[in-house]
Structure 1
Amino acid sequence: MILKKATILIVDDDPDVLTAVKLLLKTQAGEVITEKNPENLNWLLQRNEVDLVLLDMNFNSAINTGNEGLYWLRKVKDWKPNVCVIMITAYGDIDLAVRSLKEGADDFVVKPWHNEKLIGTIKELLDKKEGGAKATKAPAKNTAGDTSILGESEVMQDIFHKVNKIAPTDANILLLGENGTGKDLMAKAIHERSLRADKPFIKVDVGALTDTLFESELFGHKKGAFTDAREDRAGRFEDAQGGTLFLDEIGNISLQQQAKLLTILQNRQVTRLGTNKAVDVDIRLICATNVPMSELANENRFRKDLIYRINTVEINMPPLRRRSEDIVILARHFAKLYAGKYLKAAVDFDGPALTKLKSYNYPGNVRELQYTIERAVIMADDSTLRPDDLIFSILETQTDNNINDDNIQLSTLEKNAILKVIEKHNGNITRAAKELGLTRTALYRRLSKYDI
């Protein structure tokens, strides 16, 4: 949508802010509406065809929750799910603003803002709302910093946008997604885009650690603390000092390990085994798991207070079957990568090979595609890959065939999953989309596709 035709609603109890933004936008937008009292939001949204709301994070209103902006954000998204919302926040409330992204906000700006940047953000969101993002689409390469994370699909563009917003903060991040979706690459990309990029990035597969190894590996030990402790050793928290600590497979640690980890995160101090001396640690925490959030929420499996501690921002890495537009981009990227690695001529695919790639379901996700292309490049007799060169994993294919043998269509599974989640959230599209790992726009497309 062209900004000149847009209706923008500004809601802030500071009259100076209302005046400043109105003066800035009055020559840019079609109509600018200002309002001091957020309790008039519903009436204004019903009376006007509002395209975008600029909403303050804090109000001195009857709703006294300490984070009134989040309350009114939820209300706006309930009343008008398709309206873009930009939160206005002070620098000291950055963590709250980041949380607003989880609650459905499209972006946030920090006071005092740069006028050009604010106008640019508004234009970008309005373009995206009307599908105009294709004309100004970000490049296939993720600007978050890691060239292996590629994607032009809408769901990946949304993730890149979120990463570019949250990476420079110190917000703790929880990466969710099936095996092979690229959670470890995303963690590295977030670190490289952060203010800690010149400091260590330490990865630990905590799901593979026993209780004893868990403490020694993460917190360190003194010489003689246990039988094999032949020297003093710093733990991974200390190794990551000033940088980023990435705890992979966090969903698989025991309740006892969770309690120990929670204590460290609350106190920001570690005590090596065999000593009583606490050491201050300054790290940015990123965690990842393939366990669905619905299972993590079971307190018999995972402590809710730890979930809140590690999950300031949640990023759902989509399976490859939900980003099919990216298959060819990824395949060509891997073909170029492995042709160089194995000293082969430049490799490409013929038409039937591309058709085969695009029609497969990829139960092993991007990792399965990567290994499939690597094998094909190694075994191919010439520089053009054909369907017979593409041999998918036997293990994954057997899983896929079991689905087909039971005559279960993927489209039926997807439709039923959408219906179930929408019913769970009583028709709230914003919350349903969030649980499904989709944008609201992507969910609306599927509703239309399945005539729901």
Structure 2
Amino acid sequence: MVLKKATVLVIDDDADVLTAIRLLLKPLVKTIVTEKNPSNIISQIEKASYDIVILDMNFNGLVNTGNEGIFWLRKIKEYQPETAVILMTAYADIDLAIRGLKEGASDFLMKPWKNEKLLDAIATIVDKKKVKKVLPLQTNTTAIIGESEVMQDVFTKLKKVAPTDANVLILGENGTGKDLIARALHDNSNRKDKPFVKVDVGALTTTLFESELFGYKKGAFTGANEDRIGRFEAANGGTLFLDEIGNISLGQQVRLLTVLQNRCITPLGANKEIPIDIRLICATNVTPAELADESKFRKDLIYRINTVDIIVPPLRRRGTDITMLSRHFVAHYSEKYNKSTFTFDPAFISKLKSHDFPGNVRELQYVLERAVIMTDGSVLKPEDLVFSSIERSVTQKTSENESLNLEEVEKKAILTVLEKHQGNISKSAKELGITRAALYRRLAKYEL
């Protein structure tokens, strides 16, 4: 049966509900865990990965708005974006159902539920997961690790684009793994047995740009003592990867555009054109908005290099991929430095997930390498994590541009306090200095 491999977590403050669902699902699914206290949700999903969470919408509240359920739905999606959530409530409300589905819930059921409907909902989710799950692409040297929804989208696009000769522009922050994506495109293309040539064009001066990319003839300039082929010619038949394309000058852009249009290069000091056959991949950490600025980047070149774009998500948006990547890096460095196998203290993972990782996967890698080297025991703890001050946090970057609009400030204050008290309405209202009813009105006003 399709449910046999499913792992399910049920959160409801009614013990009878938990017992009924446990008795129904225990013989049918792989794992069924029940939890009465919603404050334990985070610790539960940190201990294990669940296919499905069945979540009540109201917990010990006098006013049944469903806001607590929405709050916990968001937290689950933040920590495990790929986990499907079925919302349940005894209070029929179409608007609440629509709101829950917009927030990422997979289904919405009314209490008392019909067993057949609950089982159908679970079976439908499991079927969709089987279809949607896309295996990471392999490169010749490594695999791209990730099971989050945002990375599944990247893998899907990679699998469609890689076999073609379409030019690809890879966008993403520093440290997100744009090099790996470029390599995966080549290694899964029809050119995989031909050269893969990488050039950091952002670091090239005007003179070096010409000689590095197009080559030169003996005597073309002082120091040119022999003929040298350029990177375009070296990549002939294969893939040319131009990294940091967003940093080249307008003059360099014109030269590059000419070559891409004519599919020919002329080495410095030569008069004869050389035809080239390459698949072009470019990458940059420049935002699409900056690339659209015609004073910095030519639109005709953008269209030429951007048949398809692939946006690599920052680590802070990849949910449980942080745990997967952490286990991968710790295992790698344990072997490299002849250390014993490590286990993770739950607080260690919590600290990792609470960090915004402005340096992305590269920063995570270096942080974990240091932890493996410096730790004496076999359990990695929060104190083993030391984050670099070199990276400026995303929070710092955005704080300068924060809105001072009163409604925005109030909304942010409410969200901060709710998160602090893990969705507890009474404690949140008390800290905010308002009544529960007043807090509920504000939650409805801001659709929180």
Q: Show the counterpart of 2:393.
A: 399
Distance 1:161 1:205 in 2: 27
Q: Show the counterpart of 1:429.
A: none
SS of structure 2 residue aligned to 1:247: strand
Deviates more, 1:346-355 or 1:297-306: 346-355
Mapped contact 1:144–1:163 kept (Cα < 8 A) = no
Mapped contact 2:134–2:156 kept (Cα < 8 A) = no
Cα drift, residue 451 of structure 1: 3.9
Q: Which of the numbers 162, 167, 171 marks the counterpart of 1:167?
A: 162
Distance 2:371 2:182 in 1: 28
Instruction: Give yes or no for the alignment of 1:347 onto 2:347.
Output: no
Q: Show the counterpart of 2:376.
A: 381
Q: Kindly tell me: are residues 405 and 306 of structure 1, through their superposed partners in 2, closer, same or farther at Cα, counting changes over 3 Å?
A: closer
Q: Kindly tell me: are residues 178 and 189 of structure 1, through their superposed partners in 2, closer, same or farther at Cα, counting changes over 3 Å?
A: same
Cα drift, residue 384 of structure 1: 1.7
Q: Which has the larger radius of gyration?
A: 2
Mapped contact 2:136–2:155 kept (Cα < 8 A) = no
Deviations 1:75-109 (A, max 9, x none): xxxxxxxxxxxxxxxxxxxxxxxxxxxxxxxxxxx
Cα drift, residue 356 of structure 1: 0.8
Q: Show the counterpart of 2:282.
A: 287
SS of structure 2 residue aligned to 1:324: coil
Instruction: Give yes or no for the alignment of 1:193 onto 2:188.
Output: yes
Mapped contact 2:264–2:275 kept (Cα < 8 A) = yes
Instruction: Give yes or no for the alignment of 1:180 onto 2:175.
Output: yes
Mapped contact 2:195–2:236 kept (Cα < 8 A) = yes
Unpaired runs of 5+ residues, structure 1, are 3-126, 417-447
Q: Show the counterpart of 1:335.
A: 330
Q: Kindly tell me: are residues 317 and 235 of structure 1, through their superposed partners in 2, closer, same or farther at Cα, counting changes over 3 Å?
A: same
Instruction: Give yes or no for the alignment of 1:323 onto 2:308.
Output: no
Q: Kindly tell me: are residues 169 and 407 of structure 1, through their superposed partners in 2, closer, same or farther at Cα, counting changes over 3 Å?
A: closer
Aligned residue pair count:
291
Cα drift, residue 142 of structure 1: 3.5
Q: Show the counterpart of 1:155.
A: 150
- RMSD of aligned Cα (Å): 3.0
Deviations 1:295-324 (A, max 9, x none): 111111011110000000000011111112
Distance 2:139 2:373 in 1: 30
Mapped contact 1:182–1:366 kept (Cα < 8 A) = yes
Q: Show the counterpart of 1:118.
A: none
Cα drift, residue 147 of structure 1: 3.5
Distance 2:357 2:398 in 1: 14
Q: Kindly tell me: are residues 407 and 285 of structure 1, through their superposed partners in 2, closer, same or farther at Cα, counting changes over 3 Å?
A: closer
Cα drift, residue 383 of structure 1: 2.4
Deviations 1:224-274 (A, max 9, x none): 101111110000001101110000000000000000000111111111000
Instruction: Give yes or no for the alignment of 1:229 onto 2:228.
Output: no
Distance 2:154 2:140 in 1: 13
1:367 aligned partner, one-letter code: R
Q: Percent identity?
A: 61
2:259 aligned partner, one-letter code: I
Q: Kindly tell me: are residues 274 and 147 of structure 1, through their superposed partners in 2, closer, same or farther at Cα, counting changes over 3 Å?
A: same
Distance 1:139 1:308 in 2: 29
SS of structure 2 residue aligned to 1:229: coil
Q: Which of the numbers 243, 250, 259 marks the counterpart of 2:238?
A: 243
Q: Kindly tell me: are residues 314 and 212 of structure 1, through their superposed partners in 2, closer, same or farther at Cα, counting changes over 3 Å?
A: same
Cα drift, residue 344 of structure 1: 1.7
Q: Kindly tell me: are residues 358 and 225 of structure 1, through their superposed partners in 2, closer, same or farther at Cα, counting changes over 3 Å?
A: same
TM-score by length of 1: 0.60
Deviations 1:9-33 (A, max 9, x none): xxxxxxxxxxxxxxxxxxxxxxxxx
Unpaired runs of 5+ residues, structure 2, are 3-121, 413-443
Distance 1:205 1:405 in 2: 32
Deviations 1:190-212 (A, max 9, x none): 10000111111100000000000
